Amino acid sequence: MKFKTVILLLALWFTPAFAFHDPPSVDHNALVEYARDAVLMVSGVDAEGKGGFGSGFLISGDGLFVTNYHVIHRAVTIRCWFYDEEDPKNYIAEIVGIDPAADLAVLKLKLKEGMEPLTHLSIEGDLEDIKVGEPVIAIGHLLGLDWTVTMGNVSHINRRNYISPYVKMVQHTAPINRGNSGGPVINAEGKVIGVNTTVRFMGNNTVGVAYAVRGDILNETVLKLINGEEIKRAGMGVK
């Protein structure tokens, strides 16, 4: 018995140290503080003065940003707000391009002269770098609660959804609701892996199943819209 105990102790002693290392930590507070400055509240008002609100996020320092198409659909005036409680002024936005089939839109803010480059987020355009199980953060304005932060993880990276059946979705567990539409899903590196688009309901309740347009599709779509290209998505009319 003593001999076996000695062998076990020696085995543990010579086990590589990396086996006992803790996983790397992520400074979520710093990540949120940075990303929140790039997230917008977006409100579209139609010709009858009716409208709603959603979220968006900046993708360039000169005011280009992404949101869902359904957030600005039929809007004649689009206003946006930054995360700045001391300065509640809003900005007018103009549409650069839309992809209704993917429920995506690229817009640009009308900025004042002399403004410094805005904080913006980069899109994770490589599907291989979107991992099932990785932690994610969603920032948006769910149910009118502005700049709310929720956390979860990636559940699936290849879903289809009834809202945008033409494109693939990231399924994740960060709680989102109405008002989160168009907001980013951010990984631990601060990159956008998806645009929040819809949730799964059971009755009138959400069930922890959220869908976001996948980062690689988002990246390709944004580049085409910025370049003025028309996006066509094929369909057979069969379901």
Is residue 144 classed as helix, strand or coil in its secondary structure? Answer: helix
The number of residues making up the chain comes to 239
Q: Are strands 148-159 and 192-202 parallel, antiparallel or unpaired?
A: unpaired
Decide if 70 is catalytic.
yes
Contact 93, 108 (CB under 8 A): yes
Question: What's the token pair of residue 239?
Answer: 């379901």
Question: What's the token pair of residue 152?
Answer: 């979860």
Q: Which residue has the tokens 């956390």?
A: 151
- Per the residue annotation, which of 70, 141, 164, 216 is the catalytic one? 70
- Per the residue annotation, which of 55, 172, 181, 216 is the catalytic one? 181
Question: What's the token pair of residue 105?
Answer: 């839109």
Phi, psi of 217 (to 5 degrees): -70, -40
CA separation for the pair 171, 155 (Å, rounded): 5
- Per the residue annotation, which of 103, 141, 164, 172 is the catalytic one? 103
CA separation for the pair 76, 58 (Å, rounded): 21
Contact 123, 219 (CB under 8 A): yes
Decide if 181 is catalytic.
yes
Contact 44, 77 (CB under 8 A): yes
List strand residue ranges (DSSP E) for 82-134, in order. Answer: 90-99, 104-109
If you ran DSSP here, which 8-state letter would residue 112 be given?
P
Residues with catalytic annotation? 70, 103, 181
